[in-house]
Structure 1
């Protein structure tokens, strides 16, 4: 994906987990006044998981964005649940 690509928007419920193969990403949140704060940076070989949103199925307070060109694998949580149920 190109740099500055948003692959998860603030306020969306997380439905997948990501593995960063190449590049740099960050989790960012915006205040009501539009001020941007970086919460966390992700580097190659990092897992990117909106854990609380994923587990509780609640809107994520964070936006996920690539800062450089990136290669990312995504795994839908439903695929993981199905695999776990059938193993």
Structure 2
């Protein structure tokens, strides 16, 4: 919980009682590799903060191919915000790529924090704004860039991810085949 408290304090000030209440509402969740945090077709019911591990946001295209949109690693929020806030079915999956340890909040507890803690809504909006900016920055790169440039950009955006996730997910994120990615990696070593 200490990591989450440090994270939220970047976005605003809270007193000890407020931090204690937040700490009481959060619980630790372990996701094993390939488990889902949230799923397409279901309503997202939790907000998570990744303490350890990597998740990915993915979907299936109209050809039935699995596409990785982006990755979320340590010290970041993980939530399908549109589904969570509007109680609508999600259009994507959030899946653990590695074993993950998260601090989570159920929707009712998150709402209680919003209703109880003065200024919590402002902190939440700032956290979500940061996450949305990261999401846009980390989205699958444009296909107009050449594959090597896309991979180099991936390494800059996700310095802690490249050696921890399957190449198939990285290739999917980059919009290339796994064999193309292997060639690129071999050529830049």
Normalising by the residue count of structure 1, what TM-score does the alignment of the two structures yield? 0.88
The SS at the match of 1:27 is: strand
Residue 77 of structure 1 is matched in structure 2 by: 107
**Structure that is richer in helix per residue:** 2
Dislocated runs of 4+, deviation >6 Å: none
Task: Please give the per-residue CA displacement for 1:15-62, whole angstroms capped at 9, x wherever unaligned.
Answer: 111111001110111134321111120111110121111121111111
For the aligned residue pairs, the C-alpha RMSD in angstroms reads 1.4
**Structure that is richer in strand per residue:** 1
Q: Gaps spanning 5+ residues in structure 2: where?
A: 1-30, 118-189
CA distance in 2, matches of 1:26, 1:15: 17
Q: Gaps spanning 5+ residues in structure 1: where?
A: none
- Flag the structure with larger Rg: 2
CA distance in 2, matches of 1:48, 1:10: 15
Q: Which has the higher contact order (CA 8 A, sep 6+)?
A: 1
Aligned residues: 87
Alignment of 1:40-55 (within 5 A): 40-55=70-85
